[in-house]
Structure 1
C-alpha cells in the first residue's frame, strides 16, 4: 500500500480541475498545468479533492500510484502558489544581475556569462549575490537552478561558487607547511 497514494489531494480555493481520459488539467491563479497519467492508475475528481487509485495489484501499478499522486499534488501547488529556488553566490567579485530575459553572471571568468531565462520562469536578483528563480513547473524551476549553479559549483577549499540557499558545503583543510 502506498502511504502517499492513499491521501487525496485537496484543491485550494481558486483551483479547478478537469479530467479527459488520463489527462488532468489544473487551472489556478498562477496559470494552467496538465499531467497525463499511465493506464495503471485511475484519477477521480471529487468536490474539493482529487484521488488516485491503482487499477491492479501489480508492482508497476503500485509504483505509478504514489508517483501519480505526487505529480497531481505538484501541479496543484504550482498553479496555486508556485515553486521557488534560491541561489547564493559566494566569492570576491562574483555577482548576478537580471536584465530582461537574461541573467548576467560575473563569476571570475574572462567574460560575463549571459544565461537566457526560459519562458514560464521569472528570475529576480534582490542583491547582487542572491538569485531567486520562480515558476509554476517544479521540474523547470529545478532545472534552471541547476543549470545556473553548473557555471560555478561551490568548491570545498574556499567555498566560492553558486550554491542553493541553506546548502551545506563540506569544507576541506588546505595544505600545511
Structure 2
C-alpha cells in the first residue's frame, strides 16, 4: 500500500476545493488548478482535509494512489503559496536579461539564447546572474528551470555554466603540467 497515498492533505484557510465525480478544482489566492481524477481513485473532503483512497486493489490503482495524492497536494500548495526555483549563472561574460516576457541568455555561444516561458510562469532576473522562476504549477516551474539549465550545464573543471541555487558541482583536477 502506498505510504504517500495514505497521508491526508491539509487545505489552507484561503483555499476553495470543489470535487466532482471525475475532477477536482482547487482555487486559491495565487490562481486556480484542476486535475482529472482517475477512475480507480476516489477523493473525499472531511472538514479542512482531503483524503485520497483507491477503489480497486489492482496494480494500476496502486500506482495511481500515491501519484494522485502528490499531484493534488502540489496543487493545494501551488495555489496558496506558489513554487519557485533559483538558477545561478557562473562564468566570465555569462549573463541574462529580460526582454518583455522573454529571457535572453548570453552564454559564450555565437548567438544569444531566447526562452519564452508559458503564460502562467514568471521569470525574474536579479543582477544579470540570478534567475528566479516562479508559478503555481510545480511541474512547469521545474521543467522551465531544467530547460534553462540545459542550455549550458555546469562543467566540472572551472564550474562555468548554469546551476541550481543549492546544487553542488563536483570539481575535477585539470591536466597536470610539466
| Shared fold, TM over 0.5 | yes
Q: Residues of 2 paired with 1:118 and 1:24: CA distance?
A: 23
* 1:135 counterpart residue number: 135
* 2:9 counterpart residue number: 9
Q: What is the SS of the residue equivalent to 2:141?
A: helix
**May I ask how many residue pairs the two structures share in their alignment?**
177
Which segments of structure 1 move beyond 2 Å, counting only runs of 4 or more?
none
Structure 1 stretches lacking a partner, 5+ long: none
Q: Residues of 2 paired with 1:78 and 1:121: CA distance?
A: 12
Q: Deviations over 1:28-65 (max 9, x none)?
A: 00000011121111111222111100112222212211
Q: Residues of 1 paired with 2:67 and 2:117: CA distance?
A: 29
* 1:105 counterpart residue number: 105
* 1:161 counterpart residue number: 161
Q: What is the SS of the residue equivalent to 1:147?
A: helix
Structure 2 stretches lacking a partner, 5+ long: none
Q: Deviations over 1:58-109 (max 9, x none)?
A: 2221221111111110000110001101100000011111221101111011
Q: What is the SS of the residue equivalent to 1:14?
A: coil
Q: Residues of 2 paired with 1:151 and 1:7: CA distance?
A: 38
* 1:126 counterpart residue number: 126
Higher mean C-alpha deviation, range 67-76 or range 54-63: 54-63
* 1:147 counterpart residue number: 147
Q: Residues of 2 paired with 1:140 and 1:159: CA distance?
A: 27
* 1:38 counterpart residue number: 38
Q: Residues of 2 paired with 1:45 and 1:99: CA distance?
A: 44
Q: Residues of 1 paired with 2:114 and 2:3: CA distance?
A: 44
Q: Residues of 2 paired with 1:150 and 1:3: CA distance?
A: 33
Q: Deviations over 1:112-131 (max 9, x none)?
A: 22211221011111221100
* 1:171 counterpart residue number: 171
User: RMSD in angstroms over aligned alpha carbons?
Assistant: 1.0
User: Given the two structures, how large is their TM-score scaled by the length of structure 1?
Assistant: 0.96
Q: Residues of 1 paired with 2:156 and 2:3: CA distance?
A: 38
| Alignment of structure 1 residues 60-79 onto 2, 5 Å | 60-79=60-79
